[in-house]
Structure 1
Amino acid sequence: MALGEGRLKVVGIGGTLREGSASLGALGRALAAAGEAGADTEILDLRELNLPMYEPGLPLEEHGPGAERLVAALRGADAVIVSTAAYHGTLAGVTKNALDFAQFLSGGEHPYFDGKVVGLISTAGGEQAGANATGAMVHVVHALRGVVAPLVVSIPKAWQRTDGSGAVTDESYGRRLDSLGGLVVDLAGGLAARGGPAGTELVGVAG
């Protein structure tokens, strides 16, 4: 879908290679809120996509069907929500690898994430790593010319706040995820109404 035509499309990227990923559960909660706000949504589970490592210079089709699905979904998105686990003080490698495939969006009038709102979520086992992970993602999104939503949800001690399937059980964080999903739709709608200007940035703040 082209920006500003019909219903907004919000694509979520998240999860780890572990079954019952808390980051995937948090992403699902935020995307559900985006759907309730009127957007069409698609969730991309990185465990299911089974992406290879991004290889510069290798054609997209040679990276496999998971990579092709990821790039097609990102190309058609008006907004993106990225949810990562925090590993060793920063975002998970599987998340960074997925974002590297945005290189295949380098052409056109709005390359990479230009004109797209990006919401950020992190889940962590401790207190500090989640903030580091979302901070690193802010730098990645800005490098990709995306608009970072000014609400960043970081869930510390996620093992206490999610169940065995990864679903968020702590409603204080659940409500933040709901707010993020709605906010992403509101911001994407505003950008679409103004034609998706390039170079717009909103400063991400902890939430």
Structure 2
Amino acid sequence: MPEKLSIVGIGGTTSPGSSTEQALQIALRAAAAEGAEVTWFDGAALCALPHYAPGVLDRSEEGRRLVEAVREAHGLVIASPGYHGSISGLVKNAIDYVEETSKDARVYLDGLPVGLIVTAYGWQATGSTLATMRSIVHALRGWPTPLGAAIRAVSGMFRDGQCTDAGASSQLELVGKQVVEFARLRKAAPSILSTGPVEE
């Protein structure tokens, strides 16, 4: 039996059941429906992470779990609220833990497809935050999927893990599906081989 693809979701806020968390859930459900094995680090998990610094894994079980999940992942889905026009500190701190993979055989997110989701109350924040997240993924050598979901989250739009806006829901599902699709292609025919750490 072929190895199942592992997709890791990272995202949420300090508020349980936030729009960001529910949007990420929709994308991850779509990934699971495509046959992927999904691991999710929600807002509560992100809140448990100490501020990233070298050596932090010695005192953070949650940090070790996050880093190991990323190391084993075939793809990621990252979701952030748009706070003041950019990614939240909570989500950025979680991403900073990827620095622990800088000396791995697969450096950072090298070759991994990464789906991106932004929820915000205004369109301006969705656009600028999505652009920032793409820049971060590029810096970590990941491959942002063609579609990034920029969702203007109005009150009542997300409820019980569902989205009342059919268009937004379709975007979120497509993000999850694209991550699995590209992870499957990458696994079947890796065209770019990691050369290990590169001097920056």
When normalised by structure 2's length, the TM-score is 0.90
SS of structure 1 residue aligned to 2:163: coil
- Equivalent residues of 1:12, 1:81 under 8 A apart: yes
CA distance in 1, matches of 2:193, 2:120: 33
CA distance in 1, matches of 2:55, 2:154: 37
Give the aligned partner of residue 169 of structure 2: 174
Unpaired segments ≥5 residues, structure 1:
200-207
Give the aligned partner of residue 122 of structure 1: 118
CA distance in 1, matches of 2:162, 2:89: 22
Q: Which one of the candidate residues 28, 31, 36 is aligned to 2:33?
A: 36
Call closer, same or farther: CA 1:158–1:101 in 2, change over 3 Å.
farther
Instruction: Output one character per residue of 1:150-182: Cα deviation in whole Å (capped at 9) or x when no partner.
Output: 10001013435223x564221211111111111
- Count of paired positions: 192
SS of structure 2 residue aligned to 1:86: strand
CA distance in 2, matches of 1:109, 1:8: 19
CA distance in 1, matches of 2:150, 2:116: 8
Letter of the aligned partner of 1:48 in structure 2? A
- Equivalent residues of 2:115, 2:148 under 8 A apart: yes
Give the aligned partner of residue 198 of structure 2: none
When normalised by structure 1's length, the TM-score is 0.87
Q: Which one of the candidate residues 145, 148, 152 is aligned to 2:148?
A: 152
- 1:197 and 2:192 equivalent? yes
Unpaired segments ≥5 residues, structure 2:
195-200
Q: CA RMSD in A?
A: 1.6
Give the aligned partner of residue 11 of structure 2: 14
- Equivalent residues of 1:124, 1:156 under 8 A apart: yes
